[in-house]
Each structure stands twice: as C-alpha cells, then as structure tokens.
Amino acid sequence: MNRLRRLDRLFQRDPVFFVTACTADRRSLLDRPSVKRCVDQFGERGTERGAFLGRFVLMPDHLHLFVAFGDQGPNLSMWMKSLKNSISKVLREEGVPAPHWQKGFMDHVLRSEESYAEKWEYVRRNPERAGLVEGPEDWPWQGEPVKLRV
C-alpha cells in the first residue's frame, strides 16, 4: 500500500506532533528501564537543539509521544530517526538482536489544547486497556521531559 508523502512545510508556528512508532514484528522491546532512561535523556538533551519532547508512553511493542520543534530544531523525520537509533543502541548493548523497528512512523499535527488533552488521555490509558496495569498512573514506562503548550 502506498503511503502519502510527508508534508515538507507546515503553516503553523511550532506545531506539536503526536507520533506513534512500532517495533519490528511488534516484538516486546520497549518496556524496560534502560529504554525509559534513554528516552528521558534524549528528551532532556534535545532542548539544546530545539527539540522538545513532551509526554510519552512506552508500550511493550510501540511508543506514543508528543514533540515540538523550535525554529532551529531538526525536522520530525530526522528526530525520529535519531530517537530510534538511540533506543536501538541501548537494545544492542543488552544483546537484543536487530531489527528493532518497523520502517517509518505515524504522526498527526495537534490543532488545539483540547486535541492534546484528548490524545494524552487515550495514550496514558493504553497500558490499562491492554490489561498491563490497574490504572494509568501505575505504568512506569512513561514520562514528560518538557511541558508542551499547544
């Protein structure tokens, strides 16, 4: 199936993206302390380069996150490639054989604060809906390196 080409430009200042990326063959790879640490550190370091990682949830076989970029920041595709590479490096160090990721990722530009709140409510309840925890606050594989404003 052919995918639509990603837009080169957005006519919205500093948009917030909602992103989903899946592991290769939907393997359970992401619900581990080393990956959470990697994503937290990636988000904290990104602010120096104009990339602002907001809330995220790591499910065993996929991740959801919210990210925004400043004027001098990278584009979404470059940033996601770098994030996936960083996580893959951690997984390789733990002896997890590649491939780790499905090709590409899905993204959506948030249009309002309401959209952000709705998406976050859906994302944070993922572990609960999957039967992994009693409530969303019990899931340890989530974070918010930067508070984003939509």
Residue 126: the pLDDT is 96
Residue 13: the pLDDT is 61
Give pLDDT tens digits along the chain (150 positions): 555 444 444 335 678 999 999 999 999 999 999 999 999 999 999 999 999 999 999 999 999 999 999 988 889 999 999 999 999 999 999 999 999 999 999 999 998 877 888 999 999 999 999 999 999 999 999 999 999 877
Rg (CA), the chain: 15
What DSSP assignment string belongs to 62-81? EEEEEEEE-TTSPPHHHHHH
In a domain, 3, yes or no: no
In a domain, 5, yes or no: no
In a domain, 135, yes or no: yes
In a domain, 6, yes or no: no
Number of compact structural domains in the chain: 1
In a domain, 96, yes or no: yes
Alpha-carbon dihedral angle through residues 77, 147, 65, 79, given to the nearest 10 degrees: 20
Closest CA to 50 of 11, 18, 82: 82
In a domain, 2, yes or no: no
Give every strand in the sheet of 62-69, ordered side by side.
106-109, 16-22, 62-69, 51-58, 142-143
- The percent helix, strand, coil of the chain (3-state, each to 5) is 40, 20, 40
Measured CA to CA in angstroms, residue 55 lies from 67, 80, 148 at distances of 8, 15, 8
Handedness of CA 86, 90, 124, 23 (dihedral sign): positive
Give the C-alpha separation, 20 to 55, whole Å. 12
> For residue 137, what are its two tokens?
């606050």
In a domain, 65, yes or no: yes
Per the omega criterion (within 30 degrees of 0), is the bond before 99 cis? yes
Residue 2: the pLDDT is 56
In a domain, 103, yes or no: yes
Residue 8: the pLDDT is 43
Domain that holds residue 124: 16-143
CATH code of the domain covering residue 53 = 3.30.70.1290
